[in-house]
């Protein structure tokens, strides 16, 4: 068995056709050698679409299920991963290739020992193997960014779910034979989990897996006897309350946006397209093989120009086939194209990460715009209520002769103005909610708000120079420009390679057959000819009309352009980092000042109300104090949200903004 052909067929015929399209996952299956983890007796079946027995009632999952699990989990370099059910150790090896650290737990000591030996032989050092019962998780190293359950569970134990980080993902097969579903479970908030059914399958049940409580008619009868008539309305009310009480939070909105937002969907498709540059570039280094065949019906009539005329006729078939191979041995431009394709993949991934960071910023801004619009509306309504009370007081005082009609008119004018402001605030809220809906794909009637007294921390490190340096190096825009500069540099060598000779290995094998032949006016017996040729083909360019030299100069000019673009990207990243850092620090100072201003404004309002009652202040003084208090309240809410946005922009400028930052901001909401 040709192992590499079998591996290729496994990836292309089993896995890719099963909607596993993540090129990073597909490439990984070529790197981690599955056959090295398969028991020797089943080595010939290492790439078959079956579960391979490991002994002790355990088995390896089918290759397509392993690949689908990797695609669903989206393992990142910084992730801590739990692998439940080590088995052969192959799944742990796949997880370790993308994760920072993997803890793999196996209940059977013999399997753990064999897996340890296989992992050590493959020099995989970031996997820790432990022996024990992990059917309900492994809390020793929790929480985890991702959990892989290499077996099935009849029900999901709460203890296992609790070991996921907020934002963590778990792949698990849930159910009982004959109905099991592979699920991706995501923890979106402290007590909220989102489950997505991926596909139906079957898998061995984990040892000591928790069992569900099965329904019985006897139990139903007992429930009715205990007062089901009273319980049912309570259950319905609880269900309705749960359905209406849950508010959308920022992390949940981000999860929805990842699947709905058109811009991130476009970027995801562009990433898939960009990753195809690598196999296209690699193809120019690999052999090309072609097959041709033909069949021809021949009909000849022969007449001589003599007297008498001699005539003859022949009808026969000729056919043949040929297979040809060409392997480049020296084509420097092909090698440069391959290296460019690697950089093109880097660009595609950086472009996708840039789109993902842009989604975080757009979503957070839209989410906070709704919160601010709600605050503005609440403030307008509260101010309207307060002014209405002041208007009623002015009317009463006028009626008893202790105030002039001017006080009433001033209060009425403020009341009318506040009504107009309330209408504008209601309209603005509808617009902001619609803007959020275009990103997340659902109505956002209730959003979690920023918690009162939520502590907004200063940027760490608290040094603007370090942030600027990080932005100049790690900003995604800088990474894009850096890759573009390297591509432009290789383009020069690619064009200069047009002056170099090329050398190819060529080979052909063919056969031609004639049922009969016709020569010199006579039919002759047919023939079969087999031909095989093998050789080297050298081509030396001598003159191309100056095109190669022109393309060389063009590539050099484009490299200068790429260099200038790279410098511009670095300077832009540095400027963005400075602006965002100053936005955070000034925002924190503004928040502190406005918090003090809130206290002062409330004191001023209380004093003016008291002064109005005793006659040392007039109505306009109270109205102005109310206006100042509510303006300060709006400004404080806006300053808090703007500071959080500035923090995210700072991390985006430094190239570090990710889902963890969304979770951190989400923890400030209630």
For the CA atoms of 583, 587, 589, 590, what is the dihedral angle to 10 degrees? 130
| In contact, 184 and 193? CB cutoff 8 Å | no
DSSP letters, 199-218, are EE---PBPTTPPPP----HH
Instruction: Read off the tokens for 14.
Output: 């089993």
Strand partners for 176: 179
pLDDT at 238: 42
- Whole-number Å distance between alpha carbons of 166 and 664: 10
- Whole-number Å distance between alpha carbons of 95 and 91: 6
| In contact, 530 and 554? CB cutoff 8 Å | no
- What are the distances in angstroms from CA 538 to CA 100, 440, 497, 503, 615? 49, 59, 15, 5, 107
pLDDT at 56: 87
Instruction: Read off the tokens for 361.
Output: 């910023």
Q: What angle do CA 624, 432, 450 make, to 5 degrees?
A: 70
511 burial (CB, 10 Å; 0-12 / 13-18 / 19+) is: middle
pLDDT at 231: 43
Residue 361: left (phi > 0), alpha (psi -120 to 50), or beta? Answer: alpha
Q: Helix or strand or coil: residue 470?
A: helix
- Whole-number Å distance between alpha carbons of 426 and 114: 66
SS3 annotation, 554-613: HHHHHHHHHHHHHHHHHHHHHHHHHHHHHHHHHHHHHHHHHHHHHHHHHHHHHHHHHHHH
In sequence order, what are the residues at sequence separation of 6 or more whose Cβ sits closer than 8 angstroms to the Cβ of residue 388? 415
145 burial (CB, 10 Å; 0-12 / 13-18 / 19+) is: buried
| In contact, 86 and 138? CB cutoff 8 Å | no
10-residue averages of pLDDT along the chain (670 residues): 86 87 90 92 88 89 93 92 94 94 94 92 92 92 93 91 91 86 86 85 88 52 43 42 59 88 91 92 94 92 80 87 96 94 92 93 93 86 75 73 72 82 89 91 83 86 92 92 94 93 96 82 81 96 92 94 95 94 92 88 84 70 76 87 93 91 90
- 563-572: long-range contacts (C-beta < 8 A, 24 or more apart)? 563/485, 563/488, 565/481, 565/484, 565/485, 566/478, 566/481, 566/482, 566/484, 566/485, 568/481, 569/475, 569/477, 569/478, 569/480, 569/481, 570/472, 570/475, 570/478, 570/481, 572/477
Strand partners for 450: 669
Would you give the distance in Å from CA 279 to the centre of its chain?
A: 22
- Give the burial string for 292-322 (b: 16+ CB within 10 Å, else e): eeeeeeeeeeeeeeeeeeeeeebebebebee
Helix (H) or strand (E) holding 179: strand 179-189
- Whole-number Å distance between alpha carbons of 324 and 287: 10
In sequence order, what are the residues at sequence separation of 6 or more whose Cβ sits closer than 8 angstroms to the Cβ of residue 565? 481, 484, 485
pLDDT at 242: 42
Strand ranges, E, within 212-340: 288-303, 311-330
pLDDT at 115: 93
Q: Helix or strand or coil: residue 143?
A: coil
- Whole-number Å distance between alpha carbons of 569 and 563: 10
Instruction: Read off the tokens for 177.
Output: 């034979």
pLDDT at 216: 45
Closest by CA to 87, choosing from 53, 45, 128, is 53
| In contact, 565 and 484? CB cutoff 8 Å | yes
Instruction: Read off the tokens for 503.
Output: 């050398």
CB neighbours of residue 481 within 10 Å: 24
In sequence order, what are the residues at sequence separation of 6 or more whose Cβ sits closer than 8 angstroms to the Cβ of residue 130? 103, 104, 105, 106, 112, 138, 140
- Whole-number Å distance between alpha carbons of 196 and 507: 53
């Amino acid at each position: 068995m040709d192992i590499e052909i079998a591996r290729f067929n496994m990836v292309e015929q089993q896995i890719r056709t099963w909607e596993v399209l993540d090129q990073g996952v597909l490439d990984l299956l070529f790197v981690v050698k599955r056959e090295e983890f398969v028991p020797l007796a089943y080595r010939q079946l290492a790439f078959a679409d079956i579960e391979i027995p490991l002994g002790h009632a355990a088995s390896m999952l089918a290759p397509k299920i392993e690949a689908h699990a990797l695609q669903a989990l989206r393992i990142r370099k910084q992730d801590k991963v739990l692998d439940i059910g080590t088995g052969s150790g192959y799944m742990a090896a796949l997880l370790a290739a993308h994760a920072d650290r993997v803890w793999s737990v196996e209940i059977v000591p013999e399997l753990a020992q064999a897996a340890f030996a296989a992992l050590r032989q493959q020099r995989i050092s970031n996997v820790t193997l432990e022996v024990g019962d992990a059917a309900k998780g492994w809390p020793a190293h929790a929480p985890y960014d991702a959990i892989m359950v290499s077996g099935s569970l009849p029900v999901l134990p709460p203890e296992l779910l609790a070991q996921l980080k907020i934002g963590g993902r778990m792949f698990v097969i849930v159910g009982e034979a004959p109905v099991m579903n592979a699920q991706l479970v995501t923890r979106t908030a402290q007590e909220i989990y989102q489950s997505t059914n991926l596909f139906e399958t079957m898998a061995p049940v984990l040892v000591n897996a928790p069992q569900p409580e099965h329904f019985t008619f006897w139990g139903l009868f007992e429930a009715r006897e205990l007062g089901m008539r009273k319980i049912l309305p309570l259950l319905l009310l609880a269900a309705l309350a749960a359905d209406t009480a849950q508010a959308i939070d920022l992390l949940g909105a981000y999860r929805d946006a990842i699947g709905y937002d058109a811009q991130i969907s476009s970027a995801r498709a562009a990433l898939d397209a960009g990753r195809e540059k690598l196999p296209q570039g690699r193809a120019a280094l690999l052999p090309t093989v072609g097959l041709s065949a033909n069949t021809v019906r021949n009909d000849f009539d022969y007449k001589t120009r003599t007297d008498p005329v001699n005539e003859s006729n022949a009808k026969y078939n000729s056919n043949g086939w040929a297979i040809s191979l060409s392997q480049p041995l020296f084509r420097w431009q092909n090698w440069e194209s391959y290296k460019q394709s690697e950089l093109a993949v880097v660009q595609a991934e950086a472009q996708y990460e840039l789109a993902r960071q842009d989604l975080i910023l757009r979503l957070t801004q839209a989410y906070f715009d709704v919160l601010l619009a709600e605050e503005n509306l609440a403030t307008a309504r509260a101010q309207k209520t307060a002014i209405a009370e002041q208007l009623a007081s002015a009317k009463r005082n006028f009626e008893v002769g202790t105030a002039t009609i001017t006080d009433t008119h001033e209060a009425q004018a403020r009341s009318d103005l506040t009504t107009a402001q309330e209408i504008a605030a209601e309209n603005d809220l509808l617009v902001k909610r619609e803007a959020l809906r275009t990103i997340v794909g659902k109505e956002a009637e209730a959003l979690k708000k920023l918690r009162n007294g939520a502590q907004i921390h200063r940027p760490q490190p608290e040094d603007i120079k370090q942030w600027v340096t990080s932005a100049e190096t790690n900003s995604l825009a800088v990474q894009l420009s850096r890759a573009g500069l390297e591509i432009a540099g290789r383009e020069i060598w690619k064009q200069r390679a047009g002056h170099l000779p090329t050398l190819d290995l060529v080979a052909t094998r063919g056969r031609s057959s004639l049922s009969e032949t016709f020569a010199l006016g006579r039919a002759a017996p047919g023939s079969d000819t087999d031909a095989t040729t093998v050789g080297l083909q050298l081509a030396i360019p001598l003159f191309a009309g100056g095109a190669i030299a022109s393309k060389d100069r063009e590539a050099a000019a484009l490299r200068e352009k790429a260099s200038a673009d790279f410098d511009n990207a670095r300077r832009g990243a540095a400027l963005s980092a400075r602006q965002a850092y100053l936005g955070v620090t000034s925002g924190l100072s503004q928040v502190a000042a406005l918090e003090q201003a809130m206290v002062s404004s409330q004191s001023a309002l209380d004093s003016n109300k008291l002064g109005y009652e005793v006659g040392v202040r007039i109505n306009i003084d109270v109205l102005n104090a109310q206006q100042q208090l509510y303006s300060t309240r709006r400004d404080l809410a806006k300053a808090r949200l703007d500071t959080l946005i500035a923090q995210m922009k700072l991390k985006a400028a430094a190239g570090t903004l990710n889902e963890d930052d969304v979770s951190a901001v989400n923890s400030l909401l209630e």
